[in-house]
Chain A
Protein backbone atom coordinates (compact mmCIF):
# COMPACT_ATOMS: atom_id res chain seq x y z
CA UNK A 1 0.00 0.00 0.00
CA UNK A 2 2.89 2.34 0.50
CA UNK A 3 3.37 2.45 -3.27
CA UNK A 4 0.00 4.05 -3.62
CA UNK A 5 0.92 6.63 -1.06
CA UNK A 6 4.24 7.54 -2.58
CA UNK A 7 3.11 7.71 -6.16
CA UNK A 8 0.42 10.35 -6.24
CA UNK A 9 -0.37 9.59 -9.87
CA UNK A 10 -1.79 6.30 -8.79
CA UNK A 11 -4.44 7.77 -6.56
CA UNK A 12 -6.85 7.71 -9.46
CA UNK A 13 -6.75 3.97 -9.50
CA UNK A 14 -7.41 3.68 -5.80
CA UNK A 15 -11.04 4.67 -5.97
CA UNK A 16 -12.42 1.22 -5.39
CA UNK A 17 -10.01 0.26 -2.66
CA UNK A 18 -11.60 -1.13 0.43
CA UNK A 19 -11.89 1.33 3.25
CA UNK A 20 -9.70 -0.49 5.76
CA UNK A 21 -6.81 -0.56 3.34
CA UNK A 22 -7.22 3.20 2.90
CA UNK A 23 -6.87 3.55 6.63
CA UNK A 24 -3.75 1.40 6.54
CA UNK A 25 -2.33 3.55 3.76
CA UNK A 26 -2.70 6.72 5.72
CA UNK A 27 -1.23 4.98 8.75
CA UNK A 28 1.84 4.00 6.74
CA UNK A 29 2.23 7.47 5.35
CA UNK A 30 2.15 9.13 8.72
CA UNK A 31 4.34 6.66 10.58
CA UNK A 32 7.62 8.41 9.78
CA UNK A 33 6.32 11.97 9.87
CA UNK A 34 5.37 14.33 12.68
CA UNK A 35 1.73 13.71 13.44
CA UNK A 36 0.35 17.05 12.33
CA UNK A 37 2.35 17.74 9.20
CA UNK A 38 1.26 16.83 5.75
CA UNK A 39 2.76 14.01 3.78
CA UNK A 40 4.65 15.17 0.72
CA UNK A 41 2.31 15.80 -2.11
CA UNK A 42 2.31 16.67 -5.74
CA UNK A 43 1.57 20.32 -5.11
CA UNK A 44 -2.18 20.16 -5.30
CA UNK A 45 -3.99 20.39 -2.03
CA UNK A 46 -6.72 18.02 -3.11
CA UNK A 47 -4.63 15.17 -4.47
CA UNK A 48 -4.49 13.32 -1.20
CA UNK A 49 -5.32 9.74 -0.51
CA UNK A 50 -7.05 10.74 2.71
CA UNK A 51 -10.52 10.81 1.20
CA UNK A 52 -12.32 7.61 0.42
CA UNK A 53 -12.12 8.46 -3.25
CA UNK A 54 -9.55 10.76 -4.84
CA UNK A 55 -11.00 14.11 -4.03
CA UNK A 56 -11.54 16.48 -6.91
CA UNK A 57 -13.82 19.44 -6.58
CA UNK A 58 -16.08 20.88 -9.22
CA UNK A 59 -14.46 23.14 -11.74
CA UNK A 60 -16.65 26.00 -10.56
CA UNK A 61 -15.91 26.05 -6.84
CA UNK A 62 -12.13 25.65 -6.87
CA UNK A 63 -11.22 28.50 -9.26
CA UNK A 64 -13.84 30.75 -7.67
CA UNK A 65 -12.41 30.14 -4.22
CA UNK A 66 -8.93 30.79 -5.58
CA UNK A 67 -10.14 34.23 -6.65
CA UNK A 68 -12.44 35.05 -3.74
CA UNK A 69 -10.27 33.82 -0.85
CA UNK A 70 -7.43 36.38 -1.23
CA UNK A 71 -9.94 39.20 -1.59
CA UNK A 72 -11.88 38.11 1.45
CA UNK A 73 -8.69 37.67 3.47
CA UNK A 74 -7.49 41.13 2.50
CA UNK A 75 -10.85 42.53 3.46
CA UNK A 76 -10.63 40.81 6.81
CA UNK A 77 -7.24 42.42 7.33
CA UNK A 78 -8.73 45.78 6.35
CA UNK A 79 -11.60 45.39 8.80
CA UNK A 80 -9.09 44.53 11.53
CA UNK A 81 -6.53 47.23 10.82
CA UNK A 82 -9.00 49.98 10.00
CA UNK A 83 -11.25 49.31 12.96
CA UNK A 84 -10.34 52.58 14.60
CA UNK A 85 -11.63 54.68 11.72
CA UNK A 86 -14.58 52.73 10.38
CA UNK A 87 -16.94 49.99 11.52
CA UNK A 88 -15.13 46.83 12.44
CA UNK A 89 -12.32 45.75 14.66
CA UNK A 90 -10.47 42.69 15.76
CA UNK A 91 -13.48 40.47 16.43
CA UNK A 92 -15.13 41.01 13.05
CA UNK A 93 -11.88 40.87 11.11
CA UNK A 94 -10.78 37.71 12.88
CA UNK A 95 -14.12 36.06 12.11
CA UNK A 96 -13.80 36.98 8.44
CA UNK A 97 -10.26 35.62 8.26
CA UNK A 98 -11.40 32.38 9.88
CA UNK A 99 -14.24 32.22 7.36
CA UNK A 100 -11.66 32.38 4.57
CA UNK A 101 -10.09 29.23 5.99
CA UNK A 102 -13.53 27.59 6.03
CA UNK A 103 -13.93 28.57 2.40
CA UNK A 104 -10.59 27.01 1.47
CA UNK A 105 -11.48 23.89 3.43
CA UNK A 106 -14.76 23.45 1.60
CA UNK A 107 -13.11 23.90 -1.78
CA UNK A 108 -9.98 21.78 -1.30
CA UNK A 109 -11.12 19.23 1.26
CA UNK A 110 -11.24 19.59 5.01
CA UNK A 111 -8.59 16.96 5.73
CA UNK A 112 -6.15 18.52 3.27
CA UNK A 113 -6.68 21.92 4.87
CA UNK A 114 -6.21 20.37 8.29
CA UNK A 115 -2.83 19.05 7.19
CA UNK A 116 -1.90 22.32 5.52
CA UNK A 117 -2.86 24.46 8.51
CA UNK A 118 -1.05 22.66 11.28
CA UNK A 119 -2.37 22.47 14.82
CA UNK A 120 0.62 24.55 15.87
CA UNK A 121 -0.61 27.51 13.83
CA UNK A 122 -4.12 27.37 15.22
CA UNK A 123 -2.97 27.06 18.81
CA UNK A 124 -0.28 29.71 18.36
CA UNK A 125 -2.87 32.17 17.06
CA UNK A 126 -5.22 31.64 19.99
CA UNK A 127 -2.63 31.45 22.74
CA UNK A 128 -0.44 34.17 21.26
CA UNK A 129 -3.40 36.53 21.00
CA UNK A 130 -4.36 35.98 24.62
CA UNK A 131 -0.75 36.44 25.75
CA UNK A 132 -0.31 39.65 23.74
CA UNK A 133 -3.54 41.10 25.15
CA UNK A 134 -2.51 40.23 28.69
CA UNK A 135 1.00 41.52 28.03
CA UNK A 136 -0.20 44.89 26.73
CA UNK A 137 -2.42 45.11 29.77
CA UNK A 138 0.28 44.16 32.24
CA UNK A 139 3.13 46.34 30.95
CA UNK A 140 1.57 49.52 32.43
CA UNK A 141 1.02 47.63 35.68
CA UNK A 142 4.73 46.83 35.76
CA UNK A 143 5.44 50.51 35.17
CA UNK A 144 3.31 51.51 38.13
CA UNK A 145 0.00 52.24 36.43
CA UNK A 146 -3.33 50.47 36.06
CA UNK A 147 -4.23 47.50 33.87
CA UNK A 148 -4.42 48.59 30.21
CA UNK A 149 -3.37 52.16 31.00
CA UNK A 150 -2.24 52.81 27.47
CA UNK A 151 -0.49 56.14 27.99
CA UNK A 152 2.21 54.41 30.03
CA UNK A 153 3.10 52.05 27.22
CA UNK A 154 6.74 52.47 26.16
CA UNK A 155 5.98 53.23 22.52
CA UNK A 156 8.46 55.81 21.17
CA UNK A 157 7.51 58.65 18.81
CA UNK A 158 4.02 57.29 18.07
CA UNK A 159 0.94 57.97 20.13
CA UNK A 160 0.96 55.21 22.80
CA UNK A 161 -2.78 55.35 23.46
CA UNK A 162 -3.81 54.91 19.84
CA UNK A 163 -1.21 52.31 18.99
CA UNK A 164 -1.74 50.43 22.23
CA UNK A 165 -5.40 50.04 21.30
CA UNK A 166 -4.47 49.03 17.78
CA UNK A 167 -2.09 46.46 19.23
CA UNK A 168 -4.84 45.01 21.39
CA UNK A 169 -7.22 44.82 18.45
CA UNK A 170 -4.79 43.56 15.81
CA UNK A 171 -2.42 41.37 17.80
CA UNK A 172 -4.78 40.40 20.59
CA UNK A 173 -8.44 39.99 19.73
CA UNK A 174 -8.18 39.15 16.02
CA UNK A 175 -5.78 36.19 16.45
CA UNK A 176 -7.77 34.82 19.38
CA UNK A 177 -11.04 34.90 17.45
CA UNK A 178 -9.50 33.60 14.23
CA UNK A 179 -7.61 30.81 15.97
CA UNK A 180 -10.50 29.66 18.13
CA UNK A 181 -12.99 29.70 15.25
CA UNK A 182 -10.63 27.73 13.01
CA UNK A 183 -10.07 25.29 15.86
CA UNK A 184 -13.81 24.86 16.40
CA UNK A 185 -14.24 24.24 12.69
CA UNK A 186 -11.63 21.50 12.58
CA UNK A 187 -12.87 20.00 15.83
CA UNK A 188 -16.46 19.80 14.63
CA UNK A 189 -15.34 18.47 11.26
CA UNK A 190 -13.68 15.57 13.01
CA UNK A 191 -16.46 14.99 15.47
CA UNK A 192 -16.81 13.28 18.78
CA UNK A 193 -14.36 10.48 19.42
CA UNK A 194 -16.64 7.92 21.02
CA UNK A 195 -13.94 5.23 21.06
CA UNK A 196 -11.84 7.27 23.44
CA UNK A 197 -8.57 6.04 21.99
CA UNK A 198 -7.81 9.22 20.06
CA UNK A 199 -6.82 11.34 23.01
CA UNK A 200 -3.68 13.23 22.33
CA UNK A 201 -2.08 11.29 19.52
CA UNK A 202 -3.74 13.33 16.80
CA UNK A 203 -4.24 10.28 14.65
CA UNK A 204 -6.81 10.63 11.94
CA UNK A 205 -8.09 7.13 11.76
CA UNK A 206 -10.27 5.91 14.57
CA UNK A 207 -13.34 8.01 14.07
CA UNK A 208 -12.85 8.10 10.33
CA UNK A 209 -13.91 4.50 10.15
CA UNK A 210 -16.90 5.29 12.32
CA UNK A 211 -18.06 8.37 10.50
CA UNK A 212 -17.89 7.06 6.99
CA UNK A 213 -19.15 3.58 7.52
CA UNK A 214 -22.44 2.34 6.25
CA UNK A 215 -24.62 3.59 3.42
CA UNK A 216 -23.44 7.20 3.74
CA UNK A 217 -20.09 6.23 2.33
CA UNK A 218 -21.65 4.68 -0.73
CA UNK A 219 -23.82 7.71 -1.29
CA UNK A 220 -20.81 9.96 -1.15
CA UNK A 221 -18.89 7.77 -3.55
CA UNK A 222 -21.79 7.78 -5.99
CA UNK A 223 -22.19 11.52 -5.80
CA UNK A 224 -18.50 12.02 -6.35
CA UNK A 225 -18.44 9.72 -9.34
CA UNK A 226 -21.18 11.61 -11.13
CA UNK A 227 -19.07 14.64 -11.76
Chain B
Protein backbone atom coordinates (compact mmCIF):
# COMPACT_ATOMS: atom_id res chain seq x y z
CA UNK B 1 0.00 0.00 0.00
CA UNK B 2 1.54 3.25 -1.02
CA UNK B 3 0.80 5.70 1.70
CA UNK B 4 0.78 9.24 0.40
CA UNK B 5 3.71 11.13 1.76
CA UNK B 6 3.09 13.67 4.49
CA UNK B 7 1.91 17.05 3.31
CA UNK B 8 4.91 18.89 4.69
CA UNK B 9 8.01 18.42 2.55
CA UNK B 10 10.21 15.84 4.14
CA UNK B 11 13.36 17.53 5.28
CA UNK B 12 16.28 16.58 3.12
CA UNK B 13 18.52 15.65 5.99
CA UNK B 14 19.40 12.30 7.42
CA UNK B 15 17.55 11.62 10.64
CA UNK B 16 18.84 9.55 13.51
CA UNK B 17 16.86 6.47 12.55
CA UNK B 18 18.05 6.62 8.97
CA UNK B 19 21.67 7.09 10.00
CA UNK B 20 21.63 4.20 12.45
CA UNK B 21 19.82 1.85 10.07
CA UNK B 22 22.16 2.70 7.21
CA UNK B 23 25.18 2.15 9.44
CA UNK B 24 23.78 -1.22 10.48
CA UNK B 25 23.12 -2.25 6.89
CA UNK B 26 26.56 -1.18 5.66
CA UNK B 27 28.31 -2.92 8.54
CA UNK B 28 26.42 -6.17 8.00
CA UNK B 29 27.09 -6.02 4.26
CA UNK B 30 30.82 -5.52 4.86
CA UNK B 31 30.91 -8.32 7.40
CA UNK B 32 29.09 -10.65 4.99
CA UNK B 33 31.55 -9.91 2.23
CA UNK B 34 34.63 -10.22 4.42
CA UNK B 35 33.75 -13.10 6.75
CA UNK B 36 36.09 -16.03 6.23
CA UNK B 37 33.73 -18.64 7.63
CA UNK B 38 30.84 -19.19 5.22
CA UNK B 39 28.38 -20.09 7.97
CA UNK B 40 29.18 -16.83 9.75
CA UNK B 41 28.61 -14.99 6.48
CA UNK B 42 25.19 -16.63 6.10
CA UNK B 43 24.21 -15.69 9.64
CA UNK B 44 25.35 -12.09 9.24
CA UNK B 45 23.49 -11.95 5.92
CA UNK B 46 20.34 -12.82 7.86
CA UNK B 47 21.06 -9.84 10.10
CA UNK B 48 21.54 -7.68 6.99
CA UNK B 49 18.01 -8.49 5.83
CA UNK B 50 16.68 -7.40 9.22
CA UNK B 51 18.16 -3.96 8.70
CA UNK B 52 16.94 -3.73 5.13
CA UNK B 53 13.37 -4.61 6.17
CA UNK B 54 13.40 -1.88 8.80
CA UNK B 55 14.82 0.59 6.27
CA UNK B 56 12.14 -0.24 3.70
CA UNK B 57 9.51 0.12 6.40
CA UNK B 58 10.81 3.53 7.34
CA UNK B 59 10.69 4.64 3.71
CA UNK B 60 7.03 3.52 3.59
CA UNK B 61 7.52 0.61 1.24
CA UNK B 62 5.75 -2.07 3.29
CA UNK B 63 5.27 -4.43 0.36
CA UNK B 64 8.99 -4.52 -0.28
CA UNK B 65 9.69 -4.84 3.43
CA UNK B 66 7.28 -7.74 3.70
CA UNK B 67 8.92 -9.47 0.76
CA UNK B 68 12.33 -8.92 2.29
CA UNK B 69 11.11 -10.35 5.60
CA UNK B 70 9.41 -13.39 4.10
CA UNK B 71 12.10 -14.25 1.58
CA UNK B 72 15.32 -13.57 3.45
CA UNK B 73 14.31 -14.55 6.96
CA UNK B 74 12.24 -17.53 5.92
CA UNK B 75 13.73 -18.83 2.72
CA UNK B 76 17.19 -17.60 1.76
CA UNK B 77 18.89 -18.42 5.04
CA UNK B 78 17.38 -21.89 5.13
CA UNK B 79 18.32 -22.68 1.54
CA UNK B 80 21.88 -21.42 2.04
CA UNK B 81 22.21 -23.51 5.20
CA UNK B 82 20.94 -26.60 3.39
CA UNK B 83 23.53 -26.05 0.68
CA UNK B 84 26.24 -25.57 3.28
CA UNK B 85 25.26 -28.83 4.95
CA UNK B 86 26.42 -30.64 1.82
CA UNK B 87 29.90 -29.17 2.05
CA UNK B 88 32.76 -29.73 4.42
CA UNK B 89 33.66 -27.11 6.94
CA UNK B 90 37.14 -25.71 7.15
CA UNK B 91 38.34 -24.10 10.34
CA UNK B 92 39.99 -20.81 9.58
CA UNK B 93 42.47 -19.12 11.84
CA UNK B 94 41.55 -15.64 10.74
CA UNK B 95 38.05 -14.28 11.04
CA UNK B 96 38.14 -12.11 7.94
CA UNK B 97 39.32 -12.39 4.38
CA UNK B 98 42.38 -10.41 3.47
CA UNK B 99 41.32 -7.49 1.32
CA UNK B 100 42.62 -7.35 -2.21
CA UNK B 101 43.91 -3.80 -2.30
CA UNK B 102 43.70 -3.11 -6.07
CA UNK B 103 40.13 -4.45 -6.13
CA UNK B 104 39.24 -2.39 -3.08
CA UNK B 105 40.78 0.66 -4.73
CA UNK B 106 38.76 0.11 -7.91
CA UNK B 107 35.57 -0.34 -5.90
CA UNK B 108 36.33 2.78 -3.88
CA UNK B 109 36.96 4.75 -7.07
CA UNK B 110 33.62 3.63 -8.52
CA UNK B 111 31.92 4.44 -5.23
CA UNK B 112 33.41 7.94 -5.19
CA UNK B 113 32.27 8.47 -8.78
CA UNK B 114 28.75 7.45 -7.90
CA UNK B 115 28.87 9.64 -4.81
CA UNK B 116 29.60 12.68 -6.99
CA UNK B 117 26.23 12.27 -8.68
CA UNK B 118 24.41 12.32 -5.36
CA UNK B 119 23.89 16.08 -5.40
CA UNK B 120 21.70 15.83 -8.50
CA UNK B 121 19.42 13.16 -7.05
CA UNK B 122 16.27 14.60 -5.44
CA UNK B 123 15.88 14.17 -1.72
CA UNK B 124 14.09 11.08 -0.48
CA UNK B 125 10.38 11.81 -0.30
CA UNK B 126 10.76 15.14 -2.01
CA UNK B 127 7.47 16.24 -3.60
CA UNK B 128 9.44 17.53 -6.58
CA UNK B 129 11.07 14.20 -7.32
CA UNK B 130 10.17 13.15 -10.88
CA UNK B 131 9.20 9.67 -9.75
CA UNK B 132 6.61 11.15 -7.44
CA UNK B 133 5.35 14.24 -9.25
CA UNK B 134 5.08 12.55 -12.64
CA UNK B 135 1.43 13.09 -13.63
CA UNK B 136 1.42 10.33 -16.22
CA UNK B 137 2.69 7.45 -14.12
CA UNK B 138 2.78 7.71 -10.34
CA UNK B 139 0.04 10.25 -9.85
CA UNK B 140 -2.11 8.58 -12.49
CA UNK B 141 -1.85 5.22 -10.77
CA UNK B 142 -2.58 6.71 -7.36
CA UNK B 143 -5.61 8.54 -8.69
CA UNK B 144 -7.00 5.88 -10.99
CA UNK B 145 -6.08 2.50 -9.54
CA UNK B 146 -9.01 2.28 -7.14
CA UNK B 147 -11.51 3.52 -9.68
CA UNK B 148 -10.36 1.03 -12.29
CA UNK B 149 -9.45 -2.06 -10.27
CA UNK B 150 -11.41 -1.65 -7.01
CA UNK B 151 -8.53 -2.71 -4.76
CA UNK B 152 -7.06 -0.41 -2.13
CA UNK B 153 -3.47 -1.57 -2.44
CA UNK B 154 -2.04 0.38 -5.36
CA UNK B 155 1.02 -1.83 -5.53
CA UNK B 156 -1.15 -4.88 -6.04
CA UNK B 157 -3.28 -3.04 -8.57
CA UNK B 158 -0.20 -2.20 -10.62
CA UNK B 159 1.24 -5.70 -10.22
CA UNK B 160 -1.82 -7.73 -11.04
CA UNK B 161 -3.81 -5.47 -13.34
CA UNK B 162 -1.89 -2.67 -15.03
CA UNK B 163 1.30 -4.70 -15.32
CA UNK B 164 -0.37 -8.08 -15.22
CA UNK B 165 1.50 -9.47 -18.18
CA UNK B 166 4.86 -8.67 -16.54
CA UNK B 167 3.68 -10.42 -13.40
CA UNK B 168 2.74 -13.43 -15.47
CA UNK B 169 6.27 -13.41 -16.82
CA UNK B 170 7.65 -13.25 -13.28
CA UNK B 171 5.50 -16.18 -12.19
CA UNK B 172 6.74 -18.18 -15.14
CA UNK B 173 10.32 -17.24 -14.23
CA UNK B 174 9.80 -18.57 -10.70
CA UNK B 175 8.33 -21.74 -12.16
CA UNK B 176 11.23 -22.06 -14.58
CA UNK B 177 13.61 -21.57 -11.67
CA UNK B 178 12.21 -24.67 -10.02
CA UNK B 179 12.57 -26.63 -13.25
CA UNK B 180 16.13 -25.39 -13.69
CA UNK B 181 17.02 -26.55 -10.19
CA UNK B 182 15.66 -29.98 -11.06
CA UNK B 183 17.81 -30.12 -14.17
CA UNK B 184 20.96 -28.87 -12.47
CA UNK B 185 20.63 -31.38 -9.64
CA UNK B 186 19.82 -34.31 -11.97
CA UNK B 187 16.40 -34.98 -10.50
CA UNK B 188 12.96 -35.56 -11.89
CA UNK B 189 10.99 -35.25 -8.68
CA UNK B 190 11.02 -32.51 -6.06
CA UNK B 191 10.13 -34.46 -2.97
Contacts of A198 in B (CB 8 A): 186-187
CA distance A190 to B67 in the complex (A): 27
Q: Are A196 and B159 in contact (CB under 8 A)?
A: no
Q: Which residues 160-180 of B have a CB within 8 angstroms of A?
A: 160-161, 164-165, 167-168, 171-172, 174-175, 177-178
Q: How large is the interface on B (under 10, 10 to 19, 20 to 34, 35 or more residues)?
A: 35 or more
Identify which of A11-19, A20-28, A45-53, A160-168 touches chain B: A160-168
Residue pairs across A and B with CB atoms within 8 Å: the count is 169
Of B73, B75, B151, B171, the contact of A84 (CB 8 Å cutoff): B151
Any A CB within 8 A of the CB of B92:
no
Any B CB within 8 A of the CB of A104:
no
Contacts of B63 in A (CB 8 A): 87-89, 92
Q: Which residues 77-102 of A have a CB within 8 angstroms of B?
A: 79, 83-89, 91-92, 95-96, 98-99, 102
Q: Are A122 and B156 in contact (CB under 8 A)?
A: no
Contacts of A10 in B (CB 8 A): none
Identify which of B16-24, B78-86, B119-127 touches chain A: B78-86
Any B CB within 8 A of the CB of A68:
no
Q: Are A102 and B78 in contact (CB under 8 A)?
A: yes
Return the CB mask of A183-199 against B: 1 if under 8 Å, else 0: 11111111111001011
Q: Are A190 and B1 in contact (CB under 8 A)?
A: no
What's the nearest-Cβ distance from chain A to residue B119, in Å? 33
8 shortest interchain CB distances as A-B pairs: A99-B74, A183-B190, A87-B62, A84-B151, A180-B178, A148-B164, A95-B70, A119-B191
19 contacts between A and B (CB under 8 A): A36-B191, A84-B152, A87-B66, A102-B78, A130-B171, A133-B168, A133-B171, A148-B161, A148-B165, A161-B148, A176-B171, A180-B174, A182-B191, A183-B182, A184-B177, A190-B187, A191-B185, A193-B187, A199-B186
Chain B interface residues toward A at CB < 8 A:
1, 62-63, 65-67, 70-71, 73-75, 78-79, 82-83, 86, 148-153, 155-157, 159-161, 164-165, 167-168, 171-172, 174-175, 177-178, 181-182, 185-191
Further 20 A-B residue pairs, CB within 8 A, beyond A180-B178, A200-B188 = A36-B191, A86-B1, A86-B153, A89-B160, A91-B67, A99-B78, A122-B190, A129-B175, A147-B165, A159-B150, A183-B182, A187-B181, A187-B187, A188-B82, A191-B86, A192-B86, A193-B187, A196-B186, A199-B186, A211-B86
